[in-house]
Amino acid sequence: MQVEFYKYQGTGNDFVMIDNRSDFFPKKDTKLIERLCDRRFGIGADGLILLENDSETDFRMVYYNADGNQSSMCGNGGRCLVAFAKKLDVIENETTFIATDGLHHATIAPDAIVSLQMIDVDAINKFDNYTFLNTGSPHHVQLVDDLEHYNVKENGAAIRYGELYGKPGSNVNFVKKVDDKTFSLRTYERGVEDETLACGTGATAVAIAMNAIGETNETDINLNVEGGKLVVSFDKVGEHFTNVFLKGPAEFVFKGTIEI
């Protein structure tokens, strides 16, 4: 069967997008999804996203990691899916959609900047040298020295597979403070099992964690990721973070067909 796909990227986080409103895609075929995401034997992507019908919102987001398994929320993937929905004329400039972590609202500007509302966060676990929180996906956040030369893959894998998080594991973010309003980060993503050029839920986690541990009092924070720049904003009431938005570019790369 020939399948039409679209390729999108958000700050270097890239995704295979498929319009599955007719429910044709074999969603349980993890080997197929893994092959489509393979950078040598397939299309190549950090993940695959299906756009599906939903009875109460504009569409449903179904996200798979590059290993072929369905996964938790992907922030940059969500932003790219909004751009894809606009390209398909499913939406105009504003949308509400459902994902694995619940309801999301988003807007898309003429310059392809997508602002995506993330889930509220009120459970932040602070430890001596790291912070753990869930922003739709679980994230370990840790300040490190010399981020530029840090071995993200080796150290990230050690934490992801270590005793801290057990079998489910966690995404792992290593962070450098640039100034009160700006942080740089590099992320090891579970499911990809490598460093990615960006991680939207990771950037969101870093912004909230840095505020929660007192590294900044700002509520509108710039995040430098390997693939570009993202902005995370939120309202803070006590230890509760609400109106959380992830903002950045979501760009169409190419479309094609592939035999499955």
75 is in an annotated binding site: yes
Residue 164: predicted pLDDT: 94
Same fold, 2-117+250-259 and 124-238: yes
134 is in an annotated binding site: no
217 is in an annotated binding site: no
201 is in an annotated binding site: yes
- The ranges assigned to domains in the chain are 2-117+250-259, 124-238
Residue with tokens 């579970």: 190
Residue 77: predicted pLDDT: 98
CATH class, domain 2-117+250-259, is: alpha beta
Q: Tell me the pLDDT tens digit for each residue of 123-171.
A: 999 999 999 999 999 999 999 999 999 999 999 999 999 999 988 899 9
Q: Please give the backbone phi and psi of residue 21, each rounded to the nearest 5 degrees, phi first.
A: -65, -20
Residues designated as active site = 74, 199
Q: What is the mean pLDDT of residues 172-182?
A: 98
Where is 37: in which H helix or E strand?
Answer: helix 30-37
Residue 59: predicted pLDDT: 98
- Rg of the chain over Cα atoms, rounded to whole angstroms, equals 17
Q: How far is CA 241 from the centre of its chain?
A: 18
CATH topology of domain 124-238: Diaminopimelate Epimerase; Chain A, domain 1 (3.10.310)
CA–CA separation, 132 and 19 (whole Å): 34
User: What residue type is 199 in one-letter code?
Assistant: C
4 is in an annotated binding site: no
Strand 240-249 vs strand 228-237: parallel, antiparallel, or unpaired?
antiparallel
Among the listed residues 128, 154, 131, 150, the one whose alpha carbon sits nearest the alpha carbon of residue 142? 131
Angle between helices 75-87 and 200-212 (to 10 degrees): 130
Q: Is the pLDDT confidence value at 68 over 90? A: yes
Map residue 82 onto helix, strand or coil.
Answer: helix
Q: Please give the backbone phi and psi of residue 207, each rounded to the nearest 5 degrees, phi first.
A: -60, -45
Four-residue CA torsion sign, 61, 66, 68, 71: negative
Residues 6+ apart with CB under 8 A from 260: 1, 3, 26, 32, 36
